[in-house]
Amino acid sequence: MEQRLEALELLAEYYEAVDVVKRDTLADVEGFLRDEAAGLWIAYVEEMPAGCVVLRPLPSMGSAGECKRLYVRSQFRGRGIAEALLDAMEDYGRVLGLKEIYLDSKDDLTVAINLYRKRQYEPCAPYNDNPQATIFMRKVLTAL
């Protein structure tokens, strides 16, 4: 399956799983794939798309990006896929020269929030107007 279609399939599952109101369109996904300041990563298990994450630039925040749409299909959870996706996204952020990565979430996504905390994401002030977000976090990227 083509990468953009795999991404759309994973994102559709993510939207339903966490009841997302503001959803990415096909044009948005194609933009992530074309924009050198953005990125979309898909993890595979035996050639099946298992999870994804998106990095978007946040030019209004200086040298910062935003982690979006971290999702791992339920049958693939517990294998370190979310960590590997975050590693890839954060490493790319460093390559881009980003100093910080922001994210927003909902407080009922406790597994995700615990993962972010484990990875040194800390609470911060709201940086966007996402009506569904109840938690805002930020990680300062350090050099490898």
> Domains (ranges, CATH) in the chain?
3-140 (3.40.630.30)
Judge whether residue 62 has pLDDT over 70: yes
Judge whether residue 143 has pLDDT over 80: no
**What are the residue ranges of helices labelled H in 19-121?**
26-34, 81-96, 110-118
Task: Compute the Cα dihedral for 33, 29, 66, 9 and give only its sign.
Answer: negative
Neighbours of 86 (CB within 10 A): 21
Whole-structure pTM value: 0.90
Rounded mean pLDDT of 101-124?
96
Distance separating alpha carbons of residues 51 and 22, to the nearest angstrom? 19
Q: Which residues have a Cβ under 8 Å from the Cβ of 39 and sit 6 or more positions away? A: 32, 54, 55, 89, 92
Flag the least confident range among 21-35, 54-68, 106-120: 21-35
Q: Of 10-19, 36-45, 81-90, which one has max mean pLDDT?
A: 81-90
Could you tell me how far CA 9 lies from the centroid of its own chain? Answer: 15
Predicted pLDDT at 144: 67
12: tokens are 């559709």
